[in-house]
Amino acid sequence: MRKSLKVVTIGGGSSYTPELIEGFIKRYEEFPLTDLWLVDIEAGKEKLEIVGAMAQRMVKAAGIDCTVHLTLDRREALKNADFVTTQLRAGQLSARVLDERIPLSHGMIGQETNGAGGIFNALRTVPVILDIVEDMKELCPDAWLINFANPAGMVTEAVLRYGNWPKVVGLCNIPVNAVVNEAELLGEAPEKLFFQFAGINHMHWHTVMDSKGVDRTDELIKLMYGTGTNTEIVANIKDNNLIFEQVENLHMVPCPYHNYYYHTDKMLAEELADFEVNGTRAEKVKQIEAELFALYKDPQLDYKPKQLAERGGARYSEAACETITSIYNDKRTTMTVSTRNNGTVKDLPDDCAVEVTCTLTGNGPVPYNFGSFKPQERGLLQLMKAMEQLTIEAAVTGDRGTLLQALTINPLVTSGDVAKQVMEEMLEAHKEFLPAFFK
Contact of 381 with 396, CB cutoff 8 Å: no
Is 153 strand, coil or helix? helix
Confirm whether residue 206 is marked as ligand binding.
no
Contact of 391 with 384, CB cutoff 8 Å: no
Choose among 150, 119, 147, 114: nearest CA to 132: 147
Choose among 401, 426, 414, 411: nearest CA to 117: 426
Rounded distance, CA 242 to CA 379, Å?
Answer: 19
The 8-class DSSP code of residue 29 comes to T
Confirm whether residue 202 is marked as ligand binding.
yes
Rounded distance, CA 401 to CA 419, Å?
Answer: 12
Rounded distance, CA 240 to CA 221, Å?
Answer: 12
Helices (H), 347-429: 375-397, 400-409, 417-429
Confirm whether residue 172 is marked as ligand binding.
yes
Length of the chain: 439
Q: Calculate the dihedral angle through the C-alpha atoms of 78, 162, 384, 411, rounding to the nearest 10 degrees.
A: 90
The 8-class DSSP code of residue 321 comes to H
Catalytic residue among 16, 162, 225, 257: 257
Angle between helices 92-105 and 281-296 (to 10 degrees): 160
Q: Give CA angle at 374 (368, 379), nearest 5°.
A: 105
Choose among 213, 211, 152, 208: nearest CA to 180: 208
Amino acid at 111: Q
Strand-pair category, 253-254 with 333-340:
unpaired
In the chain, helix, strand, coil percent, each to 5? Answer: 50, 15, 35
- Is residue 257 flagged as an active site residue? yes
The 8-class DSSP code of residue 343 comes to T
Give the list of residues 6+ apart from residue 365 with CB closer than 8 angstroms, or none. Answer: 169, 335, 337, 339, 358, 359
Q: Return phi, psi of residue 50, to 5°.
A: -70, -55
Strand-pair category, 67-71 with 35-39:
parallel
Give the residue numbers annotated as catalytic, written as ranges: 257
Please give the annotated binding residues for substrate, written as ranges. 96, 150
Please give the annotated binding residues, written as ranges. 96, 150, 172, 202
